Structure 1
Amino acid sequence: MTKQTATAALLWTAVLGASAIFGSWFFACVFPFAAMATIAAMTLDLRRGAALVVATWSANQIVGFTLMNYPQDVPTVALGISLGIGALLGFVAARTVLARLTQPVAAVAALAAAFVTYEAAIYVGALGFGGTDTFSPAIIGGVALNDAIWFAALLGLRALLTRTLPAQFGTQIAARA
């Protein structure tokens, strides 16, 4: 990785991190972890992408427990842990799909794989703590729509930044390795 590429990756990671903090605070319980995991898989190398997913989850939990007053009990903490595990597994799923398919199908398929993997991890966590009532088709559909909107917005932001500030953000959507 060249110095310019490393700087672009660092700046992009900072932009995604800032959007994660804003999203966690503004949208509270419906943060688009699958969308963020997919964008990280598409645009960052394995180490930076995984670190971003963990940092995003951490920021979400800090905002939730400190500013949003999430209950400090075992089921809530367990849900938080399953969110983190699901986001990381979603990142791995997105990277796996991206390695096997070509664009533009790969991006949509990667988001779908990340979403299904993320939701499955949360569901497994919820089975252990009795909270599966939030997995209705209407709720899952709303969460999927939220992730799709965030995904499109983050892709648009990436395209805007790479076109208007190529020296700072690089010139390509994919910077994976």
Structure 2
Amino acid sequence: MTASDFSSPVSRTTLSIAALAVIGALFTLGFACAVPLAAFAAISAMSFDRRTALLATGAAWLANQAAGFAFLHYPIDGETLAWGAALGAIALISCEAAGLAARRISGVAGLSAAFVAAFVAYEGSLLLIDAGLGLLEHVDFLGATRILLINACAFGGLSALKSIASSTSLRRKRASSLSARHA
């Protein structure tokens, strides 16, 4: 493979989604059930069109599940599978919320709004499920704060990686257009 093999938009998108999935799996190994799916949803919404953002978010969730079952030995029972499916659906809802915020607000404020919308949708959905199951007594402020911090740090890191990748891509495009003009 050559560098030009990765220059098409489809190749870059596929590579970006694969990178998010790998990062999602690595986060799972470090944080298990506290993987920052809201952060993945927000960065996906900020990086891709709606359909591709949902695909990228789903890929991060699937990698999380695969790593959890393969390496962390999540139990294979109805409750675990149901929670896994619920987290996948909630991640997609979070991606939609982030995309909606990003389309309404631009710039740094849009970036922040996308993250907040994704996180509120994610945690709000979990609270609704907990309330429906009568599990609200298991919700604690310190746990929610920990999840917020993990998601915020992950979103910051993913945003930084996105900026680095974008600036590298722009430099490559400029260099190739200069080469073409001088040829």
TM-score by length of 2: 0.82
Instruction: Point out which structure has higher relative CO (alpha carbons under 8 A, 6+ apart).
Output: 1
SS state at 2:157 partner: helix
Cα pair 1:75 1:129 within 8 Å, conserved: no
Residue segments in structure 2 that go unaligned for 5+ positions in a row: 1-6, 175-183
Cα deviation, 1:14-39, whole Å, max 9, x if unaligned, reads 22121111112222111100100000
Q: In 1, distance between residues paired with 2:170 and 2:16?
A: 12
Note if 1:26 corresponds to 2:30.
yes
Shift of 1:129: 4.0
Superposition RMSD on alpha carbons, in Å?
A: 2.2
Shift of 1:77: 2.3
Larger of the two Rg values belongs to structure? 2
Shift of 1:117: 0.5
Q: In 1, distance between residues paired with 2:128 and 2:22?
A: 29
Q: Residue 110 and residue 141 in structure 1: after superposition, are their counterparts in 2 closer, same or farther (change >3 A)?
A: same
Q: Residue 169 and residue 75 in structure 1: after superposition, are their counterparts in 2 closer, same or farther (change >3 A)?
A: farther
Q: In 2, distance between residues paired with 1:130 and 1:66?
A: 30
Note if 1:154 corresponds to 2:154.
no
Number of corresponding residues: 168
Identity of aligned residues (%): 30
Question: What residue is the counterpart of 2:121 in the other structure?
Answer: 117
SS state at 2:107 partner: coil
Question: What residue is the counterpart of 2:39 in the other structure?
Answer: 35
Residue segments in structure 1 that go unaligned for 5+ positions in a row: 171-177
Equivalence map 1:76-155=2 (5 Å): 76-155=80-159
Q: In 2, distance between residues paired with 1:101 and 1:32?
A: 23
Moved more, 69-78 or 159-168: 159-168
Shift of 1:104: 0.9
Question: What residue is the counterpart of 2:70 in the other structure?
Answer: 66
Cα pair 1:7 1:168 within 8 Å, conserved: no
Cα pair 1:83 1:121 within 8 Å, conserved: no
Shift of 1:46: 1.5
TM-score by length of 1: 0.85
